[in-house]
Amino acid sequence: MKAETNLSTGIPNTWCPGCFNFSILAGVKNAIAKEIAEGKKKEDFAIVSGIGCHAKIFDYIHLNGINSLHGRVLPVCLGMKVAKPNLSVIGFSGDGDAYAEGMEHLIHMARFNPDVKYIVHNNQVFALTVGQPTPTTELGYKDKTTPDGVKLMPLNPIKLMLAANAGFVARVYADVKQIEEVLREAFKHKGFAFIEIIQPCIIFHKDEGVKEKMYSLQEQGHDRSNWQEAMKKAEEFDYNNAEKIPSGIFYQKERATFEDIFLRYR
Ligand SMILES: Cc1ncc(C[n+]2csc(CCOP(=O)(O)OP(=O)(O)O)c2C)c(N)n1
């Protein structure tokens, strides 16, 4: 509890009251506080955010880092790892940030495999700029920019990350406990960890039954070392409607990291 308190900045919070970003903040702080209680120091961590509602998380966690540009979270994370390979680097993006502007970085980071933990707050809209559709917005979603509704199939980032050879691929709901648990697992994983958080936006993209449809892969005995099974599970939710939505760790396998390959002779 004390360690968690130490992670607070005291900066007034400007998220909407009731925003699920509060749950993400609490889950992340709990996970980091536990790492600190087990011997890590605050100075061992660095955080990076992009631009958007999610990115304000940077202001509310008392750790070193860089509030970077829209879509450029991952190259900044990689730069940090190159400069200081022992830093525990956590990146935060929105779905617009990660899957639109920053998409090329995401694919290559999964391939490069630096030991970076990457959290995507997926509310299926560009929230800060008032609700335009992103690459994961469902068919038919309407806003002022898209009055006839979205006509393009959403991207499935879990499938994309699996195809790009990411070594740790997870999805959880914006629930404090789930976030804490999956981030703790990600910290144990040596390599790039992709964690998508399904985060309702209480203004532009409400939950609409998503939480009830989610079930735990781990409780169902899913074999996270099986890539084909992970792909099958990823297909259960295409970001439109679904009967049930898998959550937890889809896939995990360690391999040489970017640092192992390129920074060995330092
Ligand atoms: C290079 C660049 N392009 C566009 C913008 C405008 N912009 C600011 S926030 C934002 C939306 C962010 O959406 P998302 O990443 O999904 O985060 P959310 O606000 O939903 O948390 C956009 C498009 C910008 N700041 N910089």
- pLDDT value for 6: 82
Residue 251 has pLDDT above 60, yes or no: yes
Q: Whose CA is nearest to atom 16 of ligand 1?
A: 96
Query: From the CA of 67, how far away is ligand 1's center (Å)?
Result: 13
- pLDDT value for 265: 72
Mean per-residue pLDDT, 172-180: 98
Cβ-count burial of 83 within 10 angstroms (0-12 exposed, 13-18 middle, 19+ buried)?
exposed
Is residue 195 within a helix (H) or strand (E), and if so which, with residue range?
strand 193-198
Ligand 1 probe mutation, 49, 70, 145, 203, most atoms within 8 A of CB = 70
Ligand 1 probe mutation, 103, 128, 143, most atoms within 8 A of CB = 128
State the CATH class of domain 17-256: alpha beta
Categorize the per-residue pLDDT at 1 as very low, low, confident or very high, splitting at 50, 70 and 90. very low
The domain limits of the chain are 17-256
Which pLDDT tens digit goes with each residue over 25-54? 999 999 999 999 999 999 999 999 999 999
- pLDDT value for 3: 44
- pLDDT value for 4: 44
Which is higher by pLDDT, 5 or 261?
A: 261
| Residues whose beta carbon lies within 6 Å of some atom of ligand 1 | 51-54, 70, 94-97, 101, 121, 123, 125-129, 134
- pLDDT value for 234: 98
Mean per-residue pLDDT, 70-91: 97
d(CA 167, CA 233): 16
- The reply to whether the predicted model has a pTM over 0.85 is yes
Query: From the CA of 89, how far away is ligand 1's center (Å)?
Result: 22
Residues found in the chain = 266
- pLDDT value for 46: 98
